[in-house]
Amino acid sequence: MTMRSVTLEVPANHSLLRKIGRADVWLEPLIGDIEKKKMESHSCLTLMNDVVHSTLKANLISTELMRRISSLERKARESEKSVHEAEEIARGAQLEATNWKEQFENAQGTIEELQENKNLLEASEEVRELKALLAKKEEYAGELVQNLTQAQADLQTSSEYGLLEENFNIEVSWAFLNSRRDALTEAAQEGFDLQSELAKVIDTIAKSQQSTDTPSPALEVPENVAIPASEGETSTTQSMEVEASVTIPLTE
C-alpha cells in the first residue's frame, strides 16, 4: 500500500516546524520495529492513528529538543553576558587598582614630605634650644666676668686695706718706739731699772715683727747709757747695745 504525502505543522519555540514529504520516510527514524510491524499489519485507519500518535510524539521530542537548544542558547548568551560583565568588572578593578596605586604613591610622597618637615621642625627646635643654651652661656660668662672683676676689685681693695693697716701698725710701732726711746733717754738721766724697760721694748718689737712678718730697719738704742747709783753707792756706767730690726714695706 502506497502512503500519501502529508504535511504536519508542529509549534516549536513560538514558531512552526514544517515537515513535508512521505510520512514513512521522515518518521522512520522515530518509529521502532514494533511500530513498523503495527503499521504493516493494521489497516489504514489504524496506521493513520499510529502516524498521528508518532507525529505527536515526534512533536514532543522536537519541542524538547528546541527547548533544550533555546536553553543552551540562553545559557550561552548569559555566559557571554557574564563574561562581558566579568571583563567590565576586571577593567574596573584594573582602573581602581591603578587609582589606588597612584593614591598610594601620592600618600608615600606626602609621608616623605611630612617626615622631612618633621625632621626640619626637630632640627629647628634643636637650633632654638642651642641658641637658648648659648645665650645662657653668654649670660653666665658675663656674670662670671663681672664677678671676677668685682672679686679682683675687692681683692685689690682688701690688699690696699691690708697694706694701709700694716703701714698704720708700723707707724704706731715707730711712734711707740720713739716715745719709749725718748722716755728712756729722759729716764736715763733720772735713774730707773733699764734692764726691765729694755726687755719691754724688745718684747714690743718682737710682737710687732710677728704681726707684720716683715723685717724693719735697724733701731739703735744709744750706747753708754749711764745708770745713776742709789744714795751711798758709786754710780757706775753700763754699756748695753740693743738692736731692733723693723722694715717698712714699700707699696708699688
Provide the CB-side half-sphere exposure for 109 (13 A, CA).
5
Q: Sorting pLDDT into bands at 50, 70 and 90, what band is 220?
A: very low
pLDDT attached to residue 237: 38
Q: Between 103 and 37, whose confidence is greater?
A: 103
Report whether 51 contacts 26 (CB < 8 A): no
Report whether 244 contacts 198 (CB < 8 A): no
Between vectors from CA 167 to CA 165 and to CA 168, what angle results, nearest 5°? Answer: 60
Instruction: Please give the single-letter amino acid code of residue 7.
Output: T
* Helical ranges in 4-43 per DSSP H: 23-26, 33-41
Write the pLDDT tens digit of every residue in 65-75. 888 898 899 88
pTM for this entry: 0.28
**What does the alpha-carbon distance between residue 209 and residue 123 come to, in Å, rounded to a whole number?**
68
Whether residue 147 is predicted with pLDDT greater than 60 in this model: the reply is yes
Domain boundaries, the chain: 27-80
**What does the alpha-carbon distance between residue 52 and residue 215 come to, in Å, rounded to a whole number?**
168
Q: Sorting pLDDT into bands at 50, 70 and 90, what band is 246?
A: very low
pLDDT attached to residue 188: 65
The arithmetic mean of pLDDT across residues 153-175, rounded, is: 72
Between vectors from CA 60 to CA 59 and to CA 62, what angle results, nearest 5°? Answer: 60
Q: Between 149 and 241, whose confidence is greater?
A: 149
Q: Express as a percent the part of the chain with pLDDT over 90.
A: 1
Q: Between 96 and 249, whose confidence is greater?
A: 96
Write the pLDDT tens digit of every residue in 109-120. 888 888 888 888
Q: Which long-range contacts (CB under 8 A, 24 or more apart) does 55-58 make?
A: 55/8, 55/10, 55/23, 55/27, 57/30, 58/10, 58/27, 58/30
Closest of 203, 208, 218 to residue 172, by C-alpha: 208
Q: Between 6 and 127, whose confidence is greater?
A: 127
**What does the alpha-carbon distance between residue 240 and residue 199 come to, in Å, rounded to a whole number?**
12
Whether residue 14 is predicted with pLDDT greater than 60 in this model: the reply is no
